[in-house]
Chains A and B, each alone.
Chain A
Amino acid sequence: MSDPLLKVRDLKIGATVYPPGEKPHDIEIVHGVSFDLAPGKVLGLIGESGAGKSTIGLASMAYGRGGVKITGGEVWVNGRDILKSSVRDIRNLRGAEVTYVSQSAAASFNPAKKIMDQVVEAAVEQKKFSRKEAEERARTLFAKLGLPDPDNIGKRFPHQVSGGQLQRCMTALALCPEPDLVVFDEPTTALDVTTQIDVLMAIKEAIRDTGVAALYITHDLAVVAQVSDDIMVLRMGDMVEYAHTDQIINSPKEEYTQALVSVRSIEHEEKNPTPEPVLSVKNITARYKGLNFDVLKNVTVDLHPGQTLAVVGESGSGKSTLARVITGLLPPSDGQIDFAGRTLSRDLAGRTREDLRELQMIYQMADVAMNPRQTVGTIIGRPLEFYFNIRGSEKRKRIIDLLDEIELGEKFMDRYPAELSGGQKQRVCIARSLAAKPKMIICDEVTSALDPLVADGILKLLLDLQKIEDVAYLFITHDLATVRAISDSIAVMYQGKVQRYGSKSEVLSPPFDDYTDLLLSSVPEMKLGWLEEVVAHRKMESAGN
Chain B
Amino acid sequence: MHPVVKLVAQRLALSLLLLLAASILIFAGTMILPGDVAQSILGQSATPESLANLREELGLNDPPVTRYFDWLFGAMQGDLGTALTNGRDIAESIGQRLSNTLFLAFWAAIISVPLAILLGLIAVRYKDRWPDKLISGVTLASISIPEFLIGYLLMYYLAVQLGWFPSVAMINDGMSLGQKLQSIALPVIVLTLVVLAHMMRMTRAAILNVMQSAYVETAELKGLSGFQVIYRHAFPNAIAPIVNVVMINLAYLVVGVVVIEVVFVYPGMGQYLVDHVSKRDVPVVQACGLIFAAVYILLNMIADIVSILANPRLRHPK
A451 interfacial contact with B, CB 8 Å: no
* Cβ-neighbour of A95 out of B215, B217, B222, B313 (below 8 A): B222
- Whether A63 contacts B221 in the complex (CB less than 8 A), given A102-B214, A107-B214, comes out as yes
Contact B221 A104 (CB under 8 A): no
List chain B residues, Cβ under 8 A from A173: 218
Contact B223 A94 (CB under 8 A): yes
Number of A-B contacts (CB under 8 A): 76
Contact B222 A111 (CB under 8 A): no
B12 interfacial contact with A, CB 8 Å: no
Interface residues of B in 214-249 (CB under 8 A from A): 214-215, 217-225, 228, 232-233, 236-237
- Whether A112 contacts B214 in the complex (CB less than 8 A), given A93-B223, A125-B228, comes out as no
Residue of B at shortest CB range from A66? B212
Contact B236 A113 (CB under 8 A): yes
Interface residues of B in 294-318 (CB under 8 A from A): 312-313, 316, 318
Minimum distance in angstroms from B188 CB to a CB of chain A: 35
Contact B222 A122 (CB under 8 A): yes
Q: Chain A, 97-138, contact with B by CB distance < 8 Å: what is the 0/1 string?
A: 001101010011111110000100110011000000000000
Contact B225 A91 (CB under 8 A): yes
B213 interfacial contact with A, CB 8 Å: yes
Alpha-carbon gap, A102 to B213, bound state (A):
13
Alpha-carbon gap, A192 to B172, bound state (A):
71
List chain B residues, Cβ under 8 A from A95: 221-224
Contact A159 B215 (CB under 8 A): no
- Whether A159 contacts B318 in the complex (CB less than 8 A), given A102-B218, A112-B237, comes out as yes
Interface residues of B in 237-282 (CB under 8 A from A): 237
Alpha-carbon gap, A535 to B28, bound state (A):
74
Minimum distance in angstroms from B204 CB to a CB of chain A: 19
A160 interfacial contact with B, CB 8 Å: yes
List chain B residues, Cβ under 8 A from A121: 219, 222, 224, 232
List chain A residues, Cβ under 8 A from B313: 111, 157, 159
Minimum distance in angstroms from B318 CB to a CB of chain A: 5
- Whether A125 contacts B236 in the complex (CB less than 8 A), given A102-B214, A102-B218, A160-B318, comes out as no
Alpha-carbon gap, A392 to B6, bound state (A):
61
A96 interfacial contact with B, CB 8 Å: yes
Contact A111 B223 (CB under 8 A): no
* Cβ-neighbour of B233 out of A92, A96, A110, A159 (below 8 A): A110
List chain B residues, Cβ under 8 A from A110: 215, 218-219, 233, 236-237
Residue of B at shortest CB range from A93? B223
A65 interfacial contact with B, CB 8 Å: yes
Contact A112 B222 (CB under 8 A): no
A344 interfacial contact with B, CB 8 Å: no
Minimum distance in angstroms from B85 CB to a CB of chain A: 55
- Whether A94 contacts B221 in the complex (CB less than 8 A), given A125-B228, A157-B312, comes out as yes
Contact A157 B316 (CB under 8 A): yes
List chain B residues, Cβ under 8 A from A90: 223
Contact A99 B221 (CB under 8 A): yes
Q: Chain B, 181-220, contact with A by CB distance < 8 Å: what is the 0/1 string?
A: 0000000000000000000000000000000011101111
Contact A109 B221 (CB under 8 A): no
What band does the interface of chain B fall in when counting residues whose beta carbon is under 8 Å from A? 20 to 34
Minimum distance in angstroms from A177 CB to a CB of chain B: 8
A222 interfacial contact with B, CB 8 Å: no
* Cβ-neighbour of A61 out of B213, B221, B232 (below 8 A): B221
Contact B312 A111 (CB under 8 A): yes
Alpha-carbon gap, A95 to B214, bound state (A):
16
Minimum distance in angstroms from A154 CB to a CB of chain B: 14
List chain A residues, Cβ under 8 A from B222: 94-95, 99, 121-122, 125
Q: Which of B215, B236, B316, B318 has most A Cβ within 10 Å?
A: B215
Alpha-carbon gap, A125 to B222, bound state (A):
9
* Cβ-neighbour of A91 out of B223, B233, B236 (below 8 A): B223
Contact B312 A125 (CB under 8 A): no
Alpha-carbon gap, A104 to B218, bound state (A):
11
Alpha-carbon gap, A185 to B312, bound state (A):
27
* Cβ-neighbour of B237 out of A91, A104, A111 (below 8 A): A111
Alpha-carbon gap, A94 to B220, bound state (A):
8
Contact B318 A112 (CB under 8 A): no
List chain B residues, Cβ under 8 A from A160: 316, 318
List chain A residues, Cβ under 8 A from B236: 110, 112-113
Alpha-carbon gap, A107 to B213, bound state (A):
7
List chain B residues, Cβ under 8 A from A63: 220-221
Contact A126 B223 (CB under 8 A): yes
Alpha-carbon gap, A100 to B219, bound state (A):
10
Interface residues of A in 58-81 (CB under 8 A from B): 61, 63, 65
List chain A residues, Cβ under 8 A from B223: 90-96, 122, 125-126
Alpha-carbon gap, A384 to B225, bound state (A):
60
Residue of B at shortest CB range from A106? B214
Contact B214 A108 (CB under 8 A): yes
Residue of A at shortest CB range from B237? A112
Residue of A at shortest CB range from B234? A110
Alpha-carbon gap, A108 to B233, bound state (A):
11
Minimum distance in angstroms from B310 CB to a CB of chain A: 8
Q: Chain A, 354-374, contact with B by CB distance < 8 Å: what is the 0/1 string?
A: 000000000000000000000
Minimum distance in angstroms from A166 CB to a CB of chain B: 12
Contact B215 A109 (CB under 8 A): yes
Residue of B at shortest CB range from A98? B221
Alpha-carbon gap, A121 to B224, bound state (A):
9
List chain A residues, Cβ under 8 A from B232: 113, 121
Contact A112 B312 (CB under 8 A): yes
Contact A159 B217 (CB under 8 A): no
Alpha-carbon gap, A109 to B312, bound state (A):
12
Q: List 16 additional contacts besides A95-B221, A110-B219, A112-B312; criterion CB under 8 Å.
A: A90-B223, A92-B223, A94-B222, A95-B223, A100-B218, A100-B221, A107-B213, A107-B214, A108-B215, A111-B312, A111-B313, A122-B222, A125-B223, A125-B224, A156-B316, A159-B316
Interchain residue pairs A-B with the least CB separation, the first 5: A95-B223, A95-B222, A94-B223, A107-B214, A122-B222
30 CB < 8 A contacts A-B: A63-B220, A90-B223, A93-B223, A94-B222, A95-B221, A95-B222, A95-B223, A95-B224, A96-B223, A99-B221, A100-B221, A102-B218, A107-B214, A108-B215, A108-B218, A109-B215, A110-B215, A110-B218, A110-B233, A110-B236, A111-B312, A112-B237, A112-B312, A113-B233, A121-B219, A121-B222, A121-B232, A125-B223, A156-B316, A160-B318
List the interface of chain B (C-beta within 8 A of A): 213-215, 217-225, 228, 232-233, 236-237, 312-313, 316, 318
